Structure 1
Amino acid sequence: MYRLDTARGSFAVKELNLLDRRRPYRAEDVFRFERAAFAAGIPMPEPISVDRGTVVHRWVEGARVPEAAVPAAYAYEIGEILARLHALDVVWGGGPDEEPVARDWAELAERARATGQPWAGELTSQVGTFLAIADFVAACERPGPVVLTHRDVQPWNLLARDGRPVLLDWELSGLLDLSGELGSTALSLAKGPGFDDIEPVVFRSLLNGYVAGGGVLPPPGPSWFAYMIGGWLGHTRWNLLRCLAGTEAGSGPELALSHEAVRNGVRGLPDMVGRLPQLEALLR
């Protein structure tokens, strides 16, 4: 991403990774959704233009949001923003765009061992766990409703401007089961990098904001966390394949970052799934 300063103002120009995306990028559909959200007053950079590989937004100044529990008032406002976003009347073709759940973890572990990957032993010891995680993601019942939404409200996609949220990076927008969107967002904003410091007050504050904004909460259950687990599973596998290739790609993360992502997934996913009863308790 680049900052472009002109006589007409400052703009954020973002080049998209189109070489090895995990799913196709619906550039025009996302841009239309962004325009509707901006017109409705959602706090976000103004979308200016889009083509196949580049998106342009008006530059917004703000403070980065650290990967730690946000203030409860900030989470509450995010909940309100999501309720307003889900109420927009924007046409979006097709159904929820979730990845197929892969089950080739034993084969990938063997390839990792044969090519001397530094995390091969850890992955091999967790193959059974990863297959069980894949089964959980594939079989978990989603109660609905399905909403058109951002799908990636995480600390790294947010700014704080005068202490209030600004929502960035809409490229993953699409249809998603509501419980998955709320669970992923509330959990991400209520904790740090691990799962030992979850702040239940922050988690509930986001849900309270969603209700205050006119939203209706879906029933509690494991589906609140299935989307986040499935996304992390797919992200780990995508980075694993980049590591097995062993060369720097023309776009996307550097190879060292892919290795770090694989290690984080191999260690963190079993931990998260083991804590599902604790996470579901946040919904009560």
Structure 2
Amino acid sequence: MNLSQLGTPVRPMIRVHGGFANRMYRLDTDQGSFAVKELNVVDRRSTYHVEDVFRFEQAAFAAGVPMPEPISASDTMLVHRWAEGEKVPEAPVSNAYAFEIGEILARIHALDVDWPHEPTEEPASHDWPELAEHAVATGQPWADELASQVETFLAIAQFVDTCERPGPVVLTHKDIQPWNLLARDGRPVVLDWELSGMLDLSGELGSTALSIAKGPGLDSIEPAIFRAVLDGYVAAGGALPPPGPSWFAFMIGGWLGHTRWNVLRCLTGAETNSGPDLALSQESAGNGVRGLPELFARLPELVRLVG
């Protein structure tokens, strides 16, 4: 990486572990501290529209959205000014924090930024029987669970492919989850914008509100926190789409695709020099195999959170 434009380093660049798709480093120089993200160019799940995302980030930052300052972007690397703050755990956030997340979403959706790409969602993959068979043959620790849930995974894929999205479609972050948030003085800071693009509004609101209203599983969902996100969105001028399963189709489809991607990485059994470490892929695959069937089974309950 050529990072000379960021100044003279005052200490060696250090790896910051925990990224689910790319690799992150912290660089401290005489010009400040920077987050340097090395993009996975080996087996990424979808194309990053890096230049367009960078313009979107610049517009959001200029509009006062709480986020790290975007510094530069290339096909292989993103650089932001380092943002201090506390990590947000996978647990229900405070009512005030959730309300402000809703306000932030409304401000993001109101930005006037040209986006040259049509909204696209890749069809869900239906190769779960083959993946389960391969997992059993290679002795994956979650293989038996996957094999017992093949029909459920096929039903999930069918739901993702056929669920009607009511619109409108908005240009948005698409991945506001606890691991992409900080708390600074108790208020949100939004990280990791590289998946930004066009998305059905219900999918963005449902994914965001549920992710910060629950713990690691589904036993600690706080309906009041979920509603606080929607209340903040409306208070900041946003209009809610009609309730329905579409609010959770994007989240379920995203987790399905993420699980499959990590399953494939585990099936190769090879440590790569790009993207998450193999151990993290194993953890993500196991979490998906166990968690997705429960999430799908509780879809009717989740829809009631919206109405």
TM superposition score category, shorter chain reference: over 0.9
**Which residue matches 1:226?**
249
Aligned to 1:209: 232
Q: Distance in 2 between matches of 1:156 and 1:14?
A: 15
**In 2, Cα distance between equivalents of 1:84 and 1:108:** 41
Opposite residue 134 of structure 1, the aligned amino acid is: A
8 Å Cα contact 1:236/1:261 also seen in 2: yes
Counterparts of 1:247-258 in structure 2, within 5 Å, are: 247-258=270-281
Q: 2:118 corresponds to which residue?
A: 95
Please list, as runs of the form range in 1=range in 2, the aligned pairs for 1:100-115 lying within 5 A after superposition. 100-115=123-138
Runs of 4+ in structure 1 deviating by more than 4 angstroms, as ranges, are: none
Kindly report which structure 2 residues correspond to 1:7-18, keeping only aligned pairs within 5 A, or say none.
7-18=30-41
User: Does residue 1:42 correspond to 2:65, yes or no?
Assistant: yes
Structure 2 residue aligned with 1:282: 305
CA shift at 1:7, angstroms? 2.6
SS in 1 for 2:189: strand
Alignment of structure 1 residues 182-193 onto 2, 5 Å? 182-193=205-216
- SS for the counterpart of 1:282 is helix
SS at match of 2:135: helix
Unaligned runs of 5+ in 1: none
Aligned residue in 1 for 2:193: 170
Cα deviation 1:154-212 (Å, max 9, x = unaligned): 11111111111110010111110000000000000000000000000100000000000
Aligned residues: 284
User: RMSD of the TM alignment (CA)?
Assistant: 0.9
Distance 1:4 1:259, change over 3 A: closer
Farther-moved stretch of structure 1 (252-261 vs 197-206): 252-261
**1:112, CA displacement in angstroms?**
1.2
Q: Name the residue aligned to 2:287.
A: 264
TM-score, normalising length: structure 2: 0.91
Name structure 2 gaps, 5 residues minimum: 1-23
Distance 1:180 1:25 in 2: 20
Q: Distance in 1 between matches of 2:221 and 2:305?
A: 9
Is 1:67 the counterpart of 2:98? The answer is no
